[in-house]
Chain A
Amino acid sequence: EADIYQTPRYLVIGTGKKITLECSQTMGHDKMYWYQQDPGMELHLIHYSYGVNSTEKGDLSSESTVSRIRTEHFPLTLESARPSHTSQYLCASSDRRSEAFFGQGTRLTVV
C-alpha cells in the first residue's frame, strides 16, 4: 500500500465556498501531481511540482492553485467553488523510476 494520503475522501460544498484538498506522502518523493478525473474519463494533469517551492500548471486549465512548502505536502485550493468543479481529484507522487503512487482521491461535489 502506497504511503500517500488524501483528505477528505468525499466533500459536498456550496457554490462560492473556498476549499482546500489535502495531499501528503511519506515516501520522500520530490515529484507530486494533481489530476482531475470525471467518471469513466481519462486523468487530466492540472498541477505538478518537482520539489519544494516548485509548482507548474498542467495540461488542463484549472482555476485551482497549489503550493509546495514542504516535500511531503501538496495541497490544492479552490478560492470560489462552482458546480463545474464537481469531479474526482487524484494526487500522486513519483519516485526516481517514474512510478506514480496515487492517493485514494477526493470526490468533490459543488451544489
Chain B
Amino acid sequence: KNQVEQSPQSLIILEGKNCTLQCNYTVSPFSNLRWYKQDTGRGPVSLTIMTFSENTKSNGRYTATLDADTKQSSLHITASQLSDSASYICVVSDRGSTLGRLYFGRGTQLTVWP
C-alpha cells in the first residue's frame, strides 16, 4: 500500500533555532517528492520538489534531502522565524500510470515561540 509517514507529529522550537522534519514513504514507482507549507486556514503551498536523482535542494532557509534507496526525506529549517509556524506536509507522486497520483502525509505541526 502506498503510504507517506511524517514525524514528529508536532514540534515546538524557539525562534532562531534549527529543526528537521522527517518523511518516510512506500510509494512506488516513485516520481517526485514535495514539501508543502500550510498556514492555518489556507491551502498548502509548495516549498521544494525532489526527483529521484536529487539528494539535496535548498530554498532560502529550507533545505530538503532525499534518500531514494531508503525512501526517506527530510526538511531542515534554519534560523527559524515566527512566520515558520505552520503545518509542513510531505507529498509523494507516483508514476505508475499517466495519472501521477499524489500521496499526502499527515503533516508536522511546527510552532515557533519567541
**A92 CB-CB contact with B under 8 Å:** yes
What band does the interface of chain B fall in when counting residues whose beta carbon is under 8 Å from A? 20 to 34
Q: Are A42 and B105 in contact (CB under 8 A)?
A: yes
Q: Which listed residue (B45, B49, B98) contacts A102, Cβ 8 A?
A: B45
Which A positions have Cβ atoms within 8 angstroms of B?
31, 33, 35, 40-43, 45, 50, 88, 90, 92, 94, 97-105, 107
Q: Which listed residue (B34, B49, B99, B104) contacts A42, Cβ 8 A?
A: B104
Q: What is the predominant secondary structure among interface residues of chain B facing chain A?
A: strand
| B residues near A100, Cβ cutoff 8 Å | 34, 36, 44, 46, 91, 102
Q: Are A105 and B109 in contact (CB under 8 A)?
A: no
Q: Which listed residue (B89, B100, B105) contacts A94, Cβ 8 A?
A: B100
Q: Which listed residue (B32, B34, B43) contacts A105, Cβ 8 A?
A: B43
Q: Which residues of B in the span 44-68 have a Cβ within 8 Å of any Cβ on A?
A: 44-46, 49
In the assembled complex, the Cα of A41 lies from the Cα of B31 at a distance in Å of 25
Which B positions have Cβ atoms within 8 angstroms of A?
31-32, 34, 36, 41-46, 49, 89, 91, 93, 98-100, 102, 104-107, 109
| Nearest CB on A from B45, distance (A) | 7
In the assembled complex, the Cα of A99 lies from the Cα of B102 at a distance in Å of 9
21 contacts between A and B (CB under 8 A): A33-B102, A35-B104, A42-B104, A43-B104, A45-B104, A50-B98, A50-B99, A90-B44, A94-B100, A97-B32, A98-B32, A98-B34, A100-B34, A100-B36, A100-B91, A101-B46, A102-B45, A104-B42, A105-B42, A105-B43, A107-B41
